[in-house]
Amino acid sequence: MSATLTAPNLLDLDLAGYESLAVSLGARPFHGRNLFKWVHKHGAFAFDAMTDLPKGLRVALAETVAIRMPQIVEEHRAPDGTTKWALELADGQRIETVAIPEGRRLTLCLSSQVGCALNCAFCATARQGFNRNLSVAEIIGQVWQAVRRLGRVPTNAVMMGMGEPLANFESVVKAMAIMQDDLAYMLAKHRVTLSTSGLVPQIYRLREVSQVSLAVSLHAPTDDLRDLLVPINRKYPLAELIPACQHYVAGDPRRKVTWEYVMLDGVNDSLAQAKQLIRLLEGVHSKVNLIPFNPFPGSAFRTSPPERIAAFQARLMRSGIITLVRKTRGDAVSAACGQLVGRVADRTGRTAVKLALGR
């Protein structure tokens, strides 16, 4: 392609953007739809291969736009079939993407930022600091690359990789819409999940523009403990977070908020804390995912013993809350929840948080 590295990137556009581009180049909107399908459904990046587009349009596209995406530079496959890729961006930063197969199900765990600024205490990504948000092209490019590498379209996509998705609102929402488009990856709305640490205003805003599933990194049943584990709680405490999440699923009894709760030995895993969690979630359509902590170098935490996780789960289940223990996948290649690190030139200048937890 003759377009330069500074030419507009087609992967930054949604379907409407493709239609507008086609019209601006003298073609018809349906040519834009065909182009969108070539790029996402067929994985084409050479305009000459797009044989149902007019030749003049193909020439104009080559002269004015480009198709650029993150490049896979490392691949690690765990014994359980989980695959982790390191993808390098144009500025040399690296992010990580994970593919998790399970029978006919294939879940992609996607990153939304280079690093993360929220500094959750139990997360390896937090140790990397934060550099910048990803563009739409850098988010959807992870899907594009995974589909070509695996030879199949995912059944599920979760915005649970590096970064806080709601801190990159516009690009994440646009990328999720592309994932759901019938001319692209055809993911059902309930099979795309956004995970947030609790940016309350953006949760309300998300309800207005999207119907994806919502997961919330909760990890503590009280403000005192959550302030330590998830520092954004100091800005948006539980009294604000819980109503926002309740509002997100209101009006549809089939929808539930998924609460992510990492199990930390001696920190948040007692039966007394299970009872506090039950009271906290009263009246909210909920599902709780208990996540055995995945250790990483330098972490001060330990994983809760299996019997304590089971007791915690049983107490929640007796109260009527659907509670699952997430199976650890990909830990052999540091691809499990909380282990993604990439390569980040930290612009925040901060060091890892040290918590007063009596250790």
Active site members: 96, 337
- Residue 182 is classified by DSSP as T
**Strand order across the beta sheet in which 83-88 lies:** 71-77, 83-88, 94-102, 105-109, 156-159, 192-196, 213-217, 257-263, 286-292, 322-325
- Cβ atoms 226, 238 nearer than 8 A: yes
Residue 241, both tokens? 């977070």
Residue 61, both tokens? 């596209």
Residue 194, both tokens? 């956004």
Residue 59: in which H helix or E strand, if any? helix 55-64
Other CB atoms within a 10 A radius of the CB of residue 201 amount to 12
Can you tell me the distance from the alpha carbon of 325 to that of 334, in angstroms, rounded to the nearest whole number? Answer: 19
- Cβ atoms 160, 337 nearer than 8 A: yes
Report which residue type is found at 312: F
73 phi/psi in degrees, rounded to 5? -115, -15
Residue count of the chain, please give it.
359
Q: How far is CA 179 from the centre of its chain?
A: 12
The number of helices, as runs of H, and strands, as runs of E, in the chain is: 11, 12
Residue 344, both tokens? 């980040």
- Cβ atoms 80, 330 nearer than 8 A: yes
